Each structure stands twice: as structure tokens, then as C-alpha cells.
Structure 1
Amino acid sequence: MPQSRRPEGTPAGGQVTQAQRHVGALRPASWPALTYEEHPWHITAEQAHRLGAVETRRLSRPYRAALPPQIADLDVMGALERSALEAAEDAAALTREFDAAMAALPVPMPAILLRSESASSSQIENLTANAHNIAAATIGADAKENSALVAANVAAMHEALAHLGPLDLPTILSIHRALLATSQPDAAGVLRGEQVWVGASDQSPHGAAFVAPHSSLVPALMGDLQRFIERRDMPPLVHAAIAHAQFETIHPFSDGNGRTGRVLVHSMLRTSVPITSSTVPVSAGLLGDTGSYVRALTDYRDGDPGRIVTSMSLAAHDAARYGRALAQRIVETRSGWVSSIDARSDSAAWRLADHLFSQPVVNAAHVCTALDVSDRGARNAITKLVEAGVLRKAVLGRRRNVVWQADAVLAAMDDFARAAARRR
């Protein structure tokens, strides 16, 4: 039976009235925990020969797969403690304030934060790459596997946030397709048809930390999740956190579940908070305590949805703090460029300078496309910024790709990543 070799998702008007109706409850209503069902497990003749008789008998026993409850019609607000609801409301207000503050800045913070969120989300899955390599991979100048995967995560974020319609199954499939189109094209945008699990051996799900639902259940569970996402009777952070936890429990894909699930959080917040411009890099907040994040998902599966709501809310607070610090540094960087760039404010050189905040490694071809200028115009703009000390020439890899990089921007993004990775 085929299986995932590295499943992800474990690092692995009326809203206020509804909240007020339940917030005073002394004891929350129950939330259904996972149950389990047994399925046969078959190993191949080649595996049996390699494993031996004892291990073959052990792995040939039935295994227990999760059987998640359907949540589309459950009483969410009644299942939460007052503290979780208050944390979610505070986080939503902070998210709105953060969005407004970032939109008022003279630098393209939305693009910077989106890339930072994608890098943090990938790092939760132990996919690490520095800002330089991610930026180089984005323009095809770096072939390192992790860099390409993180760059794909950026593309998936763009796919999600550019979508203006409902967050339905076709949209989720398109997000996943953007994430894995290059690295795993056969699995990209396709619901899994095999059993996946987290932890234990890749030989079988026996003894795994979490065995996802049998693949035959995935379409119905995703249909139920879509109905839950369509609800509008709970605070935004509550809605996004529980949808995320249910998505991770379903594990609908053979790989990329964790990264896709965190993209969904942003897509939901963008429409329900609402967020008009900036991405709060929630994954950066989760990255500081991935153990708590894992425990929150486990508690959700055990029948306690409050912890994932609180975990996601606290992560939004931490992410906003990191994001503001990054924004301050980026603004200071641009202010320093004003005195060094000898060009008109509407020149190609300045347009390129501002573009560097969202793409801090460029080559001449990329500049031509991004600024819609000729090759000569692109190289003139690059030369201006080299003379000003904004860009530095570099040669990458065996192919000797010539690029120019904005070291100040790259350093700011790497410092953001290091700060996010530290425990609270």
C-alpha cells in the first residue's frame, strides 16, 4: 500500500451576540473527540522477505486510523472557555490594528511579511533556508531543494490571498497545487488515495503518533470542512483555528498538509477579520513554541478545541510584535537609502529600490520584467543602486548565475527568522 514518506501537519453583525450568549457559561459544552476504526495492513512480498517472519506478523496486524467527527453543525462557541474566546477577540483586534499600521508605511510590507510567513511555516516542517537562498530560488538562480520548497510556499500564499471567492475545495486544491507543483507534481492538488501517518516507521502506521483517517473518508470530511468554513457565526480567530485543526486532522494530502493548512488560516482571516493588505505572520508566532502547537492539535483531537484557539491567538500576538520590529528596521533601511541613491523619486532606480524589499535578490532579466524596462534600463538601474551601496553583485552556483542582492534587506529578514525561532 502506498504511503506518505514525510507527512506534514505536526512538526512535523451577529458574531458578538453569539459570543456573548456563551461567554458566561460555567461549563463549556462537550466537543467530540476522535474515535478510531481498524483497517487491514498489507505488506509486499519484498518487504516480508526483508523484514523477517516476526516483524512481518507484527506489521500484518490491523491498524487503527482516526475517525474524526464532522464539525459543520457543531456548537463551537459553547465548547470554548471564556479565556479562549477573549484571547481570540483580542487577537482579531490586534490583527486589524497591525494591518492598518503596515498599510500606512512607505515600504511594501505586505510582500515582506508574506515571504516571512512562508519561511516560518516551512521551518515548522524543518524546511529551513535563509532569506538569500529563498529570494534566489524565486528567480530561478538557486537550485537548493529547501529554498525551492519555501519559494513554492510563497507562491501558494499568493494563490490563496489573490482568491476573492469562497474558500472551497477547488481553491484548497489550487493552493496545494501551487505548493507542490514543482517538487511533487503527481501529488499536487490531488486528495490522497493512500494512508498517511505521523511518526513511527515509514514501513507501516503501527505505533505512529497519529494515523490520519482512511483515504476513503477524505472527500466527505473535506466537504464537511467546507461547510464549516462557510459559517459566519463565530469570531475570526476561533473560526480559522478550528478549521486549521480539523484540516490537519483530516490530513487530506499525501504531503504538504501543514503548510497548506497554515495558508488556509491566512485566507480565512483575510476575509473575516477583515485584512486588507498585510499578512500577520502567524507561523512566526507558532515557530517560537512548536511543542505547544503540537499539543494544541492533540488536545483538539482529544475533544478540547480551546487550546488551538488560544495557541493561534497567542501566535498572532507574537507575530505582530515580530512584524512591527521588522517593519521598523525596513523603514529605517529605506530612509538610509534616500541620501545615498542619486536619482529622481520616480526613476527606475528608485522603483527597483522599493522592489527589493519584496525581492531582495535580482538579476537583469527579473528587473526587466518587474519594472517593464529594457535590458539597458534594467542594468542602468542596477548600476545606480550598486554605486549607492544598496546592491552588491554576487555569482551563484555551478552555473555561475550573476545576481545582485540587497544585503540590508536580507539581514533584516534573517534576523526576523531567528527571533521567531526562539522560544517565548
Structure 2
Amino acid sequence: MVGWEAHPWHRESDHGASRRQQLAARGPYEAAVPAAIAGAGVVVPNGLLAEAEDAVQEITRFDAEITAFAERRAATDGDDNTSELAPLASVLLRTESASSSEIEGVTAGARALALAAIDAKAGPNAQLVTANVAAMQRAVELADDISVEAILAAHRALHGSQAYAAPGQLRDLQVWIGSNALSPHTASFVPPHPSRVAAALDDLMVFVQRVDLPVLVQVALAHAQFETIHPFNDGNGRTGRTLVHAMLRHSGVTRTLTVPVSAGLLTDTTGYFRALTDYREGYIETIIRQFVNASFRAISNGRELVDDLERVYGAWSEQLTSRRGSAARRLLPHLLSQPAVTVAHVEAVTGVALSAAQRAIEQLEAAGIVTRTNENRRNRVWIAPDVIEALDAFAERVGRRG
């Protein structure tokens, strides 16, 4: 349970507010004081513990299934299986990042995300989700050394040059939660005063390194504590969910994938935010159950996505008449994770000459695998509609709309 402490409030009156609102924003306000959890005892009912362990086993099994998928494709095509594994890992990373962003109200469809990834015309939401992909990847890369510095690096990747968010820097201002609150006085939750943030994060990092707790229980509690600390001006939710995946990778539960846990949370955002409130009131079971249920939902949905992509890939292999080892055939795995391409992009990812890249796209277009999105010869983009359809179906199953 968080404690509370009073702090003076010094800010000029907002003349765009009513007198009642201005009156409510005067005087001291109360900010949370997070409990120290580094060495805290954690008591969870046996039934919930068993469910959490079942969820971890299912995540590990799903991770292994993707490797098996890669091996099947390699056996069929006679290629190194890493060429197949990377695209599927990338697809799941992007779907997780999109779902994590959607929890914060940032929505972008599969087509927009694919275009943003090759710097084609895309809206601001797609660009934000693309930045979230980079942040998630950064967190996973640093999973061997989960630290405050690693979290700052993920936040920096998320917000880039957005000065208002102070990328990669702990906040030095008071923030609060509640979009209609003009001051912390009427907010739904007021995170700790900035003077407490650094010490609270250090305490959390000690908790993260513990090895005496069930993995998913530890992950759920660490995430809830991070959201309670709210260490950044902006991007706390998305950065906090990158910590989830860094911990899963660090513990060995996942080895190749970013399981779309946020997609599971997205199906019940009301329950997710209520669980964070319960955590701050001293009830930890709700957030643990949210993560258990989200994990099972994520795996079920992720398996369906992988099955869809496997069917797409199998159909492509039959449709394409190009010889094995050709640029067109080598491009097929890449299209699973990046279903929007240009000639220059194909040239870069396959390493072939410009003429060969053009010929590869022509062969893919003739086979009905890609279709052009515009007639502008200078900036022509091709889309793999079967992949877009599979990704949009995934989004529909978790309630996202783009």
C-alpha cells in the first residue's frame, strides 16, 4: 500500500478554468509514497500461484513452437532457419508494441505500421507505434542487465527527440493521472514527488533481481510498482510494459519472442487499470491475475496469428514460380514481418542489384503476392495484402481498430 505526503503547490491560476476549479487547485496536495518492495514478503494463494506457473509454461511452449515453425520452413525451403525465425519474432514484437500503444489510446492499423517502417507516408500514430517497437526491442536487448540505465535507454528509444517527454531522463516535475484534472488536487492518482523517484527505482531494480519469486508474479508486481512510481514525464505505460518483456527474457521464460502480453491486457483495459489501483491500495492478487489471464489470451491469439502466417507463407511458396535462392523467393520471409516494400528497400534487405530487386517485385506482383499501392513511379510502394489481413484479424480479436 502506498503512503501519502503533502507538498506545496505553486502554480499560477489557470484563467481558462472556472472559479470553482481554480479554488480546488489551491494549497498543498498529496503525492503517493511507494512502499519499498526490494525485500518485501509476497504471499499469493496457492491456486493463483499454480495458474501463474501454468501461464509461464505456456509462454515457454509458445516460444518453442515458433522455433519449430522456423525449422519446418527451413526443411521445406532448404534454407537456414534463422531467416524464418526472425520475421515471426519481428511480427510478434510489432503486434505487442501496437497493443501496448493502444492501451494508451494510440491506434494504428497494420498497413499504416508497415508504411511507417519504410518511411513511407504514415500518420503520427503509426510513427509513435514504430518508436514503441524500437523501445521494446531496446529493452529486450538489455535484458541481461536490467537496470535504471536500461530503462532510460528504452524510454529514449520510445520518445526520441520529443523534448516534452525528456527522453531518457527521470522526471523533475510532479505529474498526475486524470486527463480532466487541472492540478494534482483533483487527480485520480498522484505519483510520488520527483525527489522520491530515483530511490524508488533503485528499490525496484533490487526487487527485479530477486530469484525467490515465481516469474509471472514478480513480473506483475514489478510492472505495477513501476507504474506507481511513474518515473517519466510521459510514456510510463509503454516503458513499463517493455520492462515486462525484459524480465521474461532475463528469466529465460522467452528466448526468441516478444509474447503479445499487452494484447491480452488490451482485451480488459478497465480491469487492468483497476488492478493497478488495487495494487496501490495493498491488494496484489488482482494485478497478478490480470497478467495470468493476459498471458493465456496472448498465446491463444498469437498462435492463431502464426497459423495464419504459416498458411500465407505456404500459399506463397506454391504461387511463386521463381527458382529457389532467387531474390523474389528470398524476400518471402521478409514480407511476413514487413509487408510494405519499395524497390530500394528490397535492394537493401536482399543485397541484390537494383535491376534484380525490380525483377523480384515484378515476379511477386505477377504471382499475386504483392500489389502496388500507387502509380507514382518514383515512390512506388507494394503491399502484401495477405499479411495485412492476418495482422488486422489479430488486432480485431483483441479489440484494436486501425
TM-score, L = length of structure 1:
0.87
Q: Does the 8 Å CA contact 1:192/1:252 hold for their aligned counterparts?
A: yes
Name the counterpart of 1:89. Answer: 53
Kindly provide the CA deviation profile for residues 247-289 of structure 1, in whole angstroms up to 9, marking residues without a partner as x. 0000001111111111110111012143111221001111111
Q: Does 1:158 align with 2:137?
A: yes
Q: Does 1:360 align with 2:328?
A: no
2: CA distance between counterparts of 1:281 and 1:50?
42
Q: What secondary structure does 2:380 align onto?
A: strand
Name the counterpart of 2:219. Answer: 240
Residue pairs, 1:299-314, within 5 angstroms: 299-314=278-293
Name the counterpart of 1:293. Answer: 272
Kindly provide the CA deviation profile for residues 383-404 of structure 1, in whole angstroms up to 9, marking residues without a partner as x. 111111111111399x984211
* CA 1:55–1:310: 2 relative to 1, 3 Å: closer
Q: Does 1:137 align with 2:116?
A: yes
Kindly provide the CA deviation profile for residues 164-209 of structure 1, in whole angstroms up to 9, marking residues without a partner as x. 5311011111111111104447611111111111115353112111
Q: Does the 8 Å CA contact 1:236/1:273 hold for their aligned counterparts?
A: no
Name the counterpart of 1:68. Answer: 34
Give, as a single letter, the amino acid of the residue that structure 2 aligns with 1:166.
D
Name the counterpart of 1:11. Answer: none
Name the counterpart of 1:407. Answer: 385
Q: Structure 2, unaligned stretches of length 5 or more?
A: 74-83
* CA 1:126–1:367: 2 relative to 1, 3 Å: same
Q: What secondary structure does 2:277 align onto?
A: helix
TM-score, L = length of structure 2:
0.91
Q: What secondary structure does 1:36 align onto?
A: strand
Q: Does the 8 Å CA contact 2:113/2:122 hold for their aligned counterparts?
A: no
Q: Does 1:216 align with 2:200?
A: no
2: CA distance between counterparts of 1:307 and 1:70?
19
Kindly provide the CA deviation profile for residues 128-155 of structure 1, in whole angstroms up to 9, marking residues without a partner as x. 0100101111111124110000011111
Give, as a single letter, the amino acid of the residue that structure 1 aligns with 2:293.
L
Q: Does the 8 Å CA contact 1:157/1:263 hold for their aligned counterparts?
A: yes
More helix by percentage:
2
Q: Does the 8 Å CA contact 1:228/1:243 hold for their aligned counterparts?
A: yes
2: CA distance between counterparts of 1:177 and 1:411?
32
Q: Does 1:39 align with 2:7?
A: yes
Count of residues in correspondence between the two structures? 385
Q: What secondary structure does 1:357 align onto?
A: helix
* CA 1:400–1:257: 2 relative to 1, 3 Å: farther
Name the counterpart of 1:22. Answer: none
Q: Does 1:231 align with 2:210?
A: yes
* CA 1:249–1:404: 2 relative to 1, 3 Å: same
Name the counterpart of 2:177. Answer: 198
Q: Does the 8 Å CA contact 2:165/2:235 hold for their aligned counterparts?
A: no
Give, as a single letter, the amino acid of the residue that structure 2 aligns with 1:36.
W
Higher relative contact order (CA 8 A, sep 6+): 1
Deviation at 1:290, TM superposition (A): 0.8
Name the counterpart of 1:21. Answer: none
Give, as a single letter, the amino acid of the residue that structure 1 aligns with 2:202.
G
Q: Does the 8 Å CA contact 1:92/1:273 hold for their aligned counterparts?
A: no
Identity of aligned pairs, percent? 45
Residue pairs, 1:23-34, within 5 angstroms: 33-34=1-2
Give, as a single letter, the amino acid of the residue that structure 1 aligns with 2:37.
I
* CA 1:365–1:184: 2 relative to 1, 3 Å: farther
Name the counterpart of 1:113. Answer: 92
2: CA distance between counterparts of 1:94 and 1:211?
36
Give, as a single letter, the amino acid of the residue that structure 2 aligns with 1:34.
V
Q: What secondary structure does 1:165 align onto?
A: helix
Give, as a single letter, the amino acid of the residue that structure 2 aligns with 1:386.
E
Name the counterpart of 1:6. Answer: none
* CA 1:340–1:260: 2 relative to 1, 3 Å: same
2: CA distance between counterparts of 1:169 and 1:138?
28
Deviation at 1:360, TM superposition (A): 0.8
2: CA distance between counterparts of 1:183 and 1:136?
21
1: CA distance between counterparts of 2:99 and 2:297?
13
* CA 1:333–1:63: 2 relative to 1, 3 Å: same
Name the counterpart of 2:81. Answer: none
* CA 1:384–1:81: 2 relative to 1, 3 Å: same
Q: What secondary structure does 1:212 align onto?
A: coil
Q: Does the 8 Å CA contact 2:279/2:286 hold for their aligned counterparts?
A: yes
1: CA distance between counterparts of 2:216 and 2:311?
32
Q: Does 1:419 align with 2:383?
A: no
Give, as a single letter, the amino acid of the residue that structure 2 aligns with 1:91.
A
Q: Does the 8 Å CA contact 1:103/1:278 hold for their aligned counterparts?
A: no
Runs of 4+ off more than 3 Å: 47-57, 182-186
2: CA distance between counterparts of 1:401 and 1:58?
55
Deviation at 1:237, TM superposition (A): 0.6
Give, as a single letter, the amino acid of the residue that structure 2 aligns with 1:86.
A
Q: Does the 8 Å CA contact 2:165/2:232 hold for their aligned counterparts?
A: no
2: CA distance between counterparts of 1:221 and 1:288?
30
Q: What secondary structure does 1:66 align onto?
A: strand
1: CA distance between counterparts of 2:282 and 2:51?
19
1: CA distance between counterparts of 2:386 and 2:239?
30
Q: Does 1:272 align with 2:251?
A: yes
Name the counterpart of 1:104. Answer: 68
Give, as a single letter, the amino acid of the residue that structure 1 aligns with 2:59.
T
2: CA distance between counterparts of 1:187 and 1:286?
27
